[in-house]
A and B are shown apart, each in its own frame.
Chain A
Amino acid sequence: MTIQTWKQALTGRIASDLADEIDAFEGQIELKKQGRVGDKLFAETRLRRGAYGQRYDNGLRHDGTGQKTLTFPSGEITKGPGTFWDAPGMMRVKIPFGAVSPEQLEVLADLAEEYSDDILHVTTRQDIQLHFVHIEDTPDLMRRLGAVGITTREACGNAVRNVSACPYAGTCHTESFDVTPHAQALADFLLGHPDTQDFGRKFKAAFSGCADEPCGLTRFHDLGLVARERTQDGVAVRGFLVLVGGGLGAVPVQAKVLTEFCPEQELLPTAQALCRVFAQHGERESRARARLKFLVQKLGIEALRELVAQERSQLLEDPRWTAHLDAAPADPDPRSAPSPLAEPGSRAERSWQGTNVRTQAQDGYHVVSVSLPLGDFTAEQARGVADLGRRFSHEALRFTVEQNVVLRWVAGADVPALYAALDALGLGEDGADGLLDPTSCPGTDTCKLGIASSRGLAKELRRSLRVVADDLDPAVKRLRVKMSGCFNSCSQHHVADLGFLGVSRSVGGRRVPHFNLVLGGRYRDNGGAYGVVVGAVPARNAPEAVRLITNKYAAERQEDESLEAFVERLGKAAIRTLLAPISKPPPYEVDPSYYRDFGDPREYTLGDMGIGECAGELVPAVEFALSAAEQKLWGAQDELESGAAAGAAGNAYQAMLVAAAGLVRHLGGQVRDEPDEVVAAFRQHVYAPGHFHDPFAKDKFGRYLFSLHDSKAHEGASVETAHRILDEARLFLEAAYACTERLLEAGSQASASAETAIPSSGERA
């Protein structure tokens, strides 16, 4: 029989339950095409199989002159609400703790060539993403992955996402023990588990081998697990510090301690019990408040702890809870005998060794990081790396949250040959994980929610910094920089030394891509502290902002002072003063490049395209109100910094009121500056008619004001509460900017009398 399909070709090579699941998914695809499955159901079905939407899948795209319709051949068939069937999508491939064998990597490379765009993209949670994939190609893609033991199941959707872990586990000097078997066991155990199928939102778990280093970033996960050893009756006992309810996203929350020490045999049942609590008590109605962090906030950690204990006591014994503990540890089987690190053969190699090679706990072996620019590598490079894995490592490669890949167990004497081979593949760049190697989410390149081009900024930073790399202070070179295309924080910018998130501003009637600069994040301690927004700069000036801050840091830092501590010492007001000269774009007529995003020749402005020249000379009063609100929020940040938490929270609340009142007046409402009145009028004129609704976050940001107004949580706020209120106020203000832009685009400005003429000097942002 001639083999005609991948299904035939791979018969018997895929685990039968996985093969059945993929067949069932293929059946769903057929039914959807026939119109026999609803949009929402099919969307969640494909998401749970890792098939995600991509930008422009609603069939609309601005081509620089106006919004145009993409006429997909499949006509009106959709693969989810407002998502056309033929529109290219993203396929997320779950790679537990980023570990792939050479063979698996080769298959991923094949798939990138045959179904995607030749590129494998490493995500900030150790997954692989393939872009521009057609939905009808996904079953074969899944089969080919299934044949090498990879599943895309639950890579997206309201499910347990990829279990991440420190990529150095098993080789690290500071770890309590190797968390790899536990991470694998948890990933296997929770995959498809009945107790994880009914979540209101996604659930992310991460492991770390120690508390102090950043590698596991356990503090912002729904479930963070940090390896610990205790001595009981003279015997070393392994277990985990269990953290719950952490998260980034719009409002970052540090995880709380569920238990200081969970013995390793209790790890899986504890996770199962937590999942049951999340499924039963988690928010179902409002997606925006459905993550575990909100449940922890609502119940309090004590009550959550009790619920988890109750659930745990009722679980039926499951042999899988401890099966992995009895298994013999995996043999790394290195390719070469241990040897000291060989001398580099060139200056470039010396630099690369300095940043991309680290010693293992096992003498004579090294972990080598391969810098993948923006997490991208080609199919051909991937095959090359797989081959190098076989030649030099003989053990699974691991993707990292910094969007790189590491080879472990490389003997010191093999390092120069490995460098030469990587360099020949075009993968010999130094600077892994540092300033020269920024981490970026997909942003406007492919993400539907992207506001600004985070990848464009990352490319520009790489380009400009590599030119001056030799002159950079080593402490500056080590800084981590991360950029997200929107507030959802997929790059994890809150814990970076220098974080950016994309926002948009209206300037002279046109939109200008901007980035909020986030400083004060701490990567160490598993993401131990979150940075705060210190100001916004036009996207074009973001590299200059990096230059200004890093120059100042290099010149004025005290010995061993981290950027976090430096920023703290300097104060946010001083940072804002530093950024002030670059915080406004020039007028369009002077430099239109500010009105485009990186790497995109189209004008960034969408609805503003039709506004004539004189519109640039008129500024609606609402923009002044937003500016005043901005000032209040900056003041709040300064107060928080100086320890006046309650005052800071009060000012943040005031900032929201000022912005709200501005919007009310813009829409023709009359209101005095009295909180009850402002809130009521905001509800009536702005919120209720849907003006404030974000296309994706819906009414979430508006509710921040209502809830704060009702709860009066700003009064006597603790530092933690004040932080949350400031974060919420920042998002409220961003939403107010977006709302204003939408209103201006729709031409719904109040009468011209509400507008104030100013010179067209571009002084206003």
Chain B
Amino acid sequence: MIPQRIRVKLYAEDTSQTDVEPFVALFHGFIREARLPGLWIDVVDYGHVRRGPGALLVGHEADLSWDLLDGRPGLSYTRKRGEAPSLEQALRETLEHALEAAAAVEARSGLRLQRQGLSVTLIDRLRAPREPGRIEQLRLALGAAAEPLLGSRHASVDEVSPDDVATDRGDARAAVTLRL
């Protein structure tokens, strides 16, 4: 089964880039100029939420955000819907769109985004549960999907929370995140 939501995050090279306001304006510009393919609806400023979605460009097929959800600034592309014949294809399409959005953001903002250490989160507890067999399948599919776009990559699994939330028990319910 293909997860309904897949998020690819590219991290900022400059980790001090935590102010989301410039991205609110940038994303409004993206809507106005139809800068990215797909239907883009509105921009939300979540700058007041610590470790939040930051500047969020809401779309129909996907969302784009300059966020701090895992504590590090970066650009997330979240696929929300779409038909794909296979998991590998869905992952590849998401990576492609994320890289395209990254290039657009870089071109307008002058910021640099890393192409290493991307995180890929499968936000779907029905189709991508935190189960060893399923995660291995996802890992292999992601490695294959990434190769034509990023070169040969090993996908590794974040076993627990994407970050150390100050709880003792670990974040067992967090969606599965893999690193590329």
Contact = CB atoms under 8 A, between A and B. Distances in A.
Interface of A: 3-6, 9, 55-56, 61, 63-65, 70-73, 86-88, 106, 109-110, 113-114, 117-119, 132, 134, 373-374, 376-378, 380-381, 383-384, 387-388, 391, 420-421, 423-427, 445-446, 456, 459, 462-463, 599-602
Contact of A3 (B42, B44, B126, B169): B126
Contacts of B44: 117, 445-446
Interface stretch (B23-31, B85-93, B100-108, B146-154): B23-31
A72 B39 contact: yes
A56 B58 CA distance: 12
B171 A380 contact: yes
Nearest 9 CB-CB pairings of A with B: A424-B166, A426-B50, A599-B45, A373-B48, A601-B25, A387-B167, A63-B32, A421-B166, A426-B51
A61 B42 contact: yes
Question: Interface SS of chain B: helix, strand, loop or mixed?
Answer: loop
B168 A459 contact: no
Nearest to B4: A114
10 contacts: A9-B126, A106-B173, A114-B5, A134-B81, A373-B48, A380-B51, A380-B161, A391-B167, A445-B44, A599-B24
B39 A118 contact: no
A110 B41 contact: no
Contacts of B5: 113-114
Nearest to B22: A601
A406 to B, nearest CB: 19
Contact of A110 (B4, B25, B46, B125): B125
A113 B175 contact: yes
Nearest to B80: A134
A462 B166 CA distance: 25
A373 B49 contact: yes
B174 A383 contact: yes
Contacts of A55: 42
A383 B69 CA distance: 13
Contacts of A383: 165, 171, 173-174
Given A373-B48, A388-B167, A421-B166, A117 B28 contact: no
Contacts, number: 119
Contacts of B175: 113
Contacts of A72: 39, 60
Contact of A601 (B28, B42, B56): B28
Interface residues of B, number: 44
B53 interface: yes
B47 interface: yes
B58 A132 contact: yes
B171 A459 contact: no
B39 A71 contact: yes
A117 B123 CA distance: 12
Given A61-B41, A374-B48, A86 B60 contact: yes
Contact of B51 (A4, A378, A462): A378
Given A110-B173, A113-B175, A378 B69 contact: yes
B32 A420 contact: no
B124 A114 contact: yes
B58 A117 contact: yes
Nearest to A107: B173
B51 A391 contact: no
Contacts of B48: 373-374, 376, 459, 462-463
B46 A376 contact: yes
Given A4-B1, A383-B174, A423-B166, 10 more contacts: A114-B124, A119-B46, A373-B49, A376-B48, A378-B69, A387-B169, A421-B166, A421-B167, A459-B48, A601-B25
Contacts of A427: 50
A134 B4 CA distance: 13
Interface string B102-124: 00000000000000000000011
Contacts of A378: 49, 51-53, 69
Contacts of B125: 110, 114
Nearest to A426: B50
Nearest to B1: A4
B45 A65 contact: no
B166 A420 contact: yes
B56 A117 contact: yes
B86 to A, nearest CB: 16
A6 B100 CA distance: 33
A336 to B, nearest CB: 15
B53 A56 contact: no
A345 to B, nearest CB: 15
A447 to B, nearest CB: 12
Nearest to B172: A383
Nearest to A459: B48
Nearest to A388: B167
Given A114-B5, A117-B63, A377 B49 contact: yes
A94 B39 CA distance: 31
Nearest to B163: A380
Nearest to A462: B48
A463 B174 CA distance: 31
B68 to A, nearest CB: 9
B75 to A, nearest CB: 15
B52 to A, nearest CB: 5
A621 to B, nearest CB: 36
Nearest to B38: A73
B166 A384 contact: yes
A451 to B, nearest CB: 17
B24 A601 contact: yes
A118 to B, nearest CB: 5
Among the interface residues B4, B5, B52, B169, which one has the most CB atoms of the partner chain A within 10 A?
A: B52
A119 B52 contact: yes
B166 A425 contact: yes
Contacts of B4: 114
A118 B174 CA distance: 12
